[in-house]
């Protein structure tokens, strides 16, 4: 491969660029030179500022994620990661939730924040811990396995558990249904009643709802700030003021649900009926709670007067 002729290139640049510019400047009247020099100075200043903004180091501190399986325990403790707990081999049946509070070389300690089914476990049982996806190298993981060394339970429930260090990190499929975040609240209205679909009558809908979202009832107040967070074919998540949730709703409560959703094709609100269970209750900001509700049955009105519903399992 021949080397480029540098002198030839320099001569070309001088002939095609530098010389024409010099001739153009020489032809300008003397009074216009100040404008040319001022414009050149402004361009140079702008270019310098742009280069500074592009090349300056970012001040934003990046949170370093775990790089090896051994890093995860420290990462979980530092970030207060909430982990779902299930029996090994049954990750779809979450028994509770916990955060890691202590760790040593041979064990970790978890504080149980929600444990509706953890009391069914026993010492030496193998469990699965599930958490938001993280990367190890080029792979993403969202679960690991551990063995119970000690479980502290009382009549009020389980409070703490001691486990072996986590192992067998892997990526598992957590959800069957894709969630859709609700941005515009004006297109969805939801009402909840505590109860079960033990009859096909719709008389429960005549009562004031236990919780209303974007669907206000003159018989009850305080529902104005409630919002729908997300919805899927398998359930719905809503936020509600803490006064509407405390001592009124509990994990595994049965609820009947009416959802009015706007149909953009038909330009009308259409009603949808569901029965479900409250699966999660989480404090959001000290003023409100997030309720996660799983749909267990769907209903369809089967008479003109809308007094009867046909229920079918999902």
> 244-265, pLDDT tens digit by residue?
888 889 888 999 999 998 888 8
- Position 147 pLDDT exceeds 90: yes
User: Which helix (DSSP H) or strand (DSSP E) does residue 299 occupy?
Assistant: strand 288-301
Q: What is the pLDDT of residue 223?
A: 75
Q: What is the pLDDT of residue 276?
A: 94
* Domain 180-313 CATH assignment equals 2.40.10: yes
- Position 57 pLDDT exceeds 60: no
d(CA 233, CA 259): 13
DSSP string for 30-64: GGGHHHHHHHHHHHHHHHHHHHHHHHSPP-PPPPP
Q: What is the pLDDT of residue 133?
A: 82
Query: What average pLDDT is seen over the chain?
Result: 80
Contact 301, 308 (CB under 8 A): yes
Residue 119 pLDDT level (bands cut at 50, 70, 90)? confident
Contact 215, 205 (CB under 8 A): no
For the CA atoms of 176, 178, 179, 183, the dihedral, rounded to the nearest 10 degrees, stands at -170
**Alpha carbon separation from 285 to 222, 242, 289 (Å, rounded):** 17, 10, 8
Superfamily grouping for domain 69-170? Electron Transport, Fmn-binding Protein; Chain A (2.30.110.10)
- Residues paired with 293 in a beta bridge: 236, 278
Q: Which of 5-19, 74-88, 176-190, 224-238 has the lowest mean pLDDT?
A: 5-19
- Looking at per-residue pLDDT, the higher value among 127 and 25 belongs to 127
d(CA 106, CA 83): 20
The model carries a pTM of 0.53
Q: For a pLDDT cut of 70, what percent of the chain falls above it?
A: 74
d(CA 188, CA 264): 12
> 225-236, pLDDT tens digit by residue?
789 999 998 899
- Position 62 pLDDT exceeds 50: no
CB atoms within 10 A of CB 134: 18
Residue 295 pLDDT level (bands cut at 50, 70, 90)? very high
Residues near 259 by beta carbon (within 8 Å), at least 6 away in sequence: 188, 189, 190, 231, 236, 271, 272, 273, 274
Coil, helix or strand for 18? helix
Return the sign of the alpha-carbon dihedral for residues 182, 187, 193, 195.
Answer: negative
Annotated domain spans of the chain? 69-170, 180-313
- Looking at per-residue pLDDT, the higher value among 309 and 61 belongs to 309
- Residues paired with 153 in a beta bridge: 158
Query: Left (φ > 0), alpha (ψ -120 to 50) or beta: where does 143 sit?
Result: beta
**In b/e form, how buried is each residue of 106-123, taking b as 16+ CB within 10 angstroms?**
eebbbebebbbbbeebee
């Amino acid at each position: 491969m021949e080397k480029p002729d540098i002198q030839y290139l320099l001569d070309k640049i001088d002939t095609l660029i530098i010389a024409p510019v010099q001739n153009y400047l020489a032809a300008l009247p003397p009074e216009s030179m100040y404008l040319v020099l001022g414009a050149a100075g402004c361009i140079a200043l702008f270019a310098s500022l742009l280069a500074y903004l592009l090349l300056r180091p970012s001040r934003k501190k990046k949170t370093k994620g775990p790089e090896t399986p051994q890093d995860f325990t420290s990462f979980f403790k530092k970030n207060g990661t909430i982990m779902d707990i299930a029996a090994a081999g049954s990750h779809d049946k979450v028994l509770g939730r916990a955060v890691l509070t202590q760790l040593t070389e041979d064990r970790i300690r978890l504080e149980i924040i929600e444990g509706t089914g953890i009391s069914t476990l026993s010492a030496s049982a193998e469990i699965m811990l599930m958490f938001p996806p993280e990367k190890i190298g080029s792979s993403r993981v969202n679960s690991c396995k551990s063995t119970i060394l000690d479980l502290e339970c009382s009549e009020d429930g389980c409070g703490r558990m001691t486990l072996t260090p986590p192992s067998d990190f892997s990526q598992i499929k957590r959800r069957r249904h894709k969630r859709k975040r609700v941005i515009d609240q004006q297109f969805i209205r939801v009402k909840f009643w505590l109860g079960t679909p033990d009859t096909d009558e719709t008389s429960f809908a005549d009562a004031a709802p236990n919780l209303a979202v974007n669907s206000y009832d003159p018989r009850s107040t305080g529902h104005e700030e409630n919002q729908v967070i997300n919805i899927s074919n398998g359930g719905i998540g809503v936020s509600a003021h803490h006064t509407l949730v405390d001592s009124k709703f509990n994990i595994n409560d049965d609820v009947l649900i009416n959802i009015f959703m706007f149909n953009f094709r038909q330009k009308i609100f259409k009603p949808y009926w569901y029965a479900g269970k409250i699966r999660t209750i989480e404090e959001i900001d000290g003023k409100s709670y997030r309720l996660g509700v799983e749909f267990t049955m769907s209903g369809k009105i089967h008479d003109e007067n809308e007094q009867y519903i046909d229920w079918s399992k999902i």
